[in-house]
Chain A
Amino acid sequence: MFQLLQSGLNGTGAGSYLPVVIQIIFAVGLVAFLMVVTHMLGPKRKTTDKLQNFSSGIESHGDARHPMAIKYFLTAILFVLFDVEVIFFYPYAVNFKMLGWNGFWAVMLFVAFFLCGFIYIIKKGALKWED
């Protein structure tokens, strides 16, 4: 810890991070600049329709803190889960030849575990829409 305090900003440490710092300053600056500029330049014509929350063209009912059936949530989270599974296939597809049979069996194991989970959620009735 004391090593950390003693070592200054020169040498191997912070100097090489200058591009990152410039990047951060640029990103923050750009956002602030654009916000200020749009605020000052654009015309403002407020109507009740424009001030309403807007989502996919459907009229909104109540606010977001509204209790809703758990099955929507369950379906969404399971969708994300299996979506992520597919993401793992992309790096595997790129390295398919290099990883050889070892990689193939590893991916098979991964898919098998996922399949177990899939059968499990179907058997448990997590995807049953009508009760």
Chain B
Amino acid sequence: MNALLLSALMGVVMMFSGIVLKSKAAIRNIAIAGMLALLLVNILEMNGTVFLVIDSKGMIGFDRFALLFNSIIFFSTFLYLTLSARDMEKVGVNYAEYLALIFFILCGIALVSSFRSLIILFLGIEIISIPLYILTGSDKLNLKSNEASLKYFLLGSFSTGLMLMGIALIYGAKGTFYTSGINMVNGAISPLLIAGMLLLMFSMAFKVSVAPFHFWTPDVYDGAPTVFTSFMATIVKAGVFIAFIRLFDEGFASQQPKWKLIIAILTAATLLIGNITAVFQQSVKRMLAYSSIAQAGFMLLSVYAMSPDSKEGLILYAAAYCMATIGIFAVLIKMSDYTFDGFNGFAKQQPLLAAVTTIFLLSLAGIPLTAGFMAKFYMIKAAMYNSGLLWLPILALVMAAVSVSYYFRVIQAMYFRESSTPSTLTVTPAFRYTLVALAALVVLLGIFPNLLLAWLYF
């Protein structure tokens, strides 16, 4: 509740800071300080300090899982702002508004991570989506950005319509919006409930870009300004995933035999399409868009397995994926050429940046001693122990091997190719230090994943 209120308040503060303050550095510092405050009040709530109790009639419930997840989200956003907030200035003139929209999105994520009622789920998803449409089209003079925004808006509102239809059908079957009430079994299962559940599943699958609902993702991620792609592909995606797992854990646990196979098929399709298509990309930005689809496939394994194991796995996966991808994007934003060739000879020009980028790529590929390995391990372990289907974890393993090929293409370009043009890259020392700290965190989580997971219980 602390973070929910503060994030909405910070959004308003950022809106007005753009009018009152003229210096962009001051606006940026307010945003970063606000982000730290958000993280702090959320950690305080984990320790039992709640500033303001609002009776939501049980529609919102902040449990340990939601709070820890929010902490990861806020921490990732803090890193994202320290690394990339400076680059937002280049997108357009409305600097303070971009930051305000980011705070509003965080408010939406705080809602969907803790919903107990489908109304709150809908509200949260919309609070996340609408600012994203604006951020995608924020590069107003760029035609690709406009196209991406329109495409995202049309498809996004269509899937929102599906979600509303699903919620309406479920209400028709059960007479309640509360997930606990929906989960209760009394008498024969109404076909309305199953139809509603499927519609909800598909619209959630759209929001996290699970195949076959992924077609918007490459275009939107490619067209959006790279700073905002970084935010969309990491923090927002992870935030919607917690809603996904919460919905199926609390709302439809009793219907498991009905949806388990469908989720398994969606997972397999996502893993296959995301990984295979990523191999053929020429632009690193587009490759990362497909990689985000592939990673969504791994995260979907946690919905499939649906056990305490898989919840731990999702926490770890969200952290590992967010940190590594934010790091790669922070470097990518600084590049002038987004193709694989743009990375040629990068290791000679910027040895430190190349080294940390390598660590992030290794983490995404799931190489041991990085957080990504532990995350993939937890996911596949959960899928192995909690299912009758053995082919799914095996497919996930094979696809993890396929993903190595396109992640390593960047490493190969950086270390084993000669550059034809001199580097024009300029980075501040603060950027370097933050990036090194981020890489250290990725390695640390890879060795001691319990540093994070212990928070779930103590």
Contact = CB atoms under 8 A, between A and B. Distances in A.
- Which one of A4, A7, A12, A113 has the greatest number of beta carbons of chain B within 10 Å? A4
Interface in A2-35: 2-4, 7, 12-13
Contacts of B258: 1-3
B321 to A, nearest CB: 30
A3 B189 contact: yes
A4 B188 contact: no
A69 interface: no
Contact of B194 (A4, A116, A119, A123): A4
A123 B262 CA distance: 51
Contacts of A102: 55
Nearest to A6: B191
Given A120-B16, A124-B19, A1 B188 contact: no
B43 interface: no
Interface string B141-165: 0000000000000000000000000
B195 to A, nearest CB: 6
Contacts, number: 32
A7 B15 contact: no
Nearest to A113: B12
Contact of B191 (A3, A116, A124): A3
Nearest to B15: A120
B190 interface: yes
Given A102-B55, A116-B15, A120-B19, A1 B190 contact: no
A119 B191 CA distance: 49
Give chain B's interface secondary structure class.
helix
Contacts of A120: 15-16, 19
B198 interface: yes
Q: How large is the interface on B (under 10, 10 to 19, 20 to 34, 35 or more residues)?
A: 10 to 19
Contacts of A2: 258
Contact of B262 (A1, A113, A119, A124): A1
Interface string B248-279: 00000000001000100000000000000000
Contact of B19 (A1, A7, A113, A123): A123
Contacts of B16: 116, 119-120, 123
Nearest to B12: A116
Contact of A3 (B15, B19, B194): B194
Contacts of B194: 1, 3-4
A1 B189 CA distance: 12
Interface in B9-37: 12, 15-16, 19
Contacts of B15: 116, 120
B64 to A, nearest CB: 27
A124 B12 CA distance: 14
B92 to A, nearest CB: 14
Nearest to B5: A109
Interface string A109-131: 00001001001100110000000
A113 B135 CA distance: 21
Nearest to B19: A123
B104 to A, nearest CB: 11
Nearest to B198: A1
Contacts of A1: 194, 198, 258, 262
A12 B188 contact: yes
A119 B16 CA distance: 9
Nearest to A3: B194
Contacts of B12: 113, 116
A95 to B, nearest CB: 14
Contacts of A12: 188, 190
B19 A4 contact: no
A117 to B, nearest CB: 8
B341 to A, nearest CB: 41
Nearest to A102: B55
Nearest to B187: A12
Interface in B389-437: none
27 contacts: A1-B198, A1-B258, A1-B262, A2-B258, A3-B189, A3-B191, A3-B194, A4-B191, A4-B194, A4-B195, A4-B198, A7-B191, A12-B188, A13-B191, A13-B192, A113-B8, A113-B12, A116-B12, A116-B15, A116-B16, A119-B16, A120-B15, A120-B16, A120-B19, A123-B16, A123-B19, A124-B19
Interface of B: 8, 12, 15-16, 19, 55, 188-192, 194-195, 198, 258, 262
Given A7-B191, A123-B16, 10 more contacts: A1-B262, A2-B258, A4-B198, A12-B188, A102-B55, A113-B8, A113-B12, A116-B16, A119-B16, A124-B19
Q: 9 tightest CB-CB pairs across the interface, nearest first?
A: A7-B191, A123-B19, A4-B194, A4-B191, A116-B12, A3-B194, A120-B15, A13-B191, A4-B195
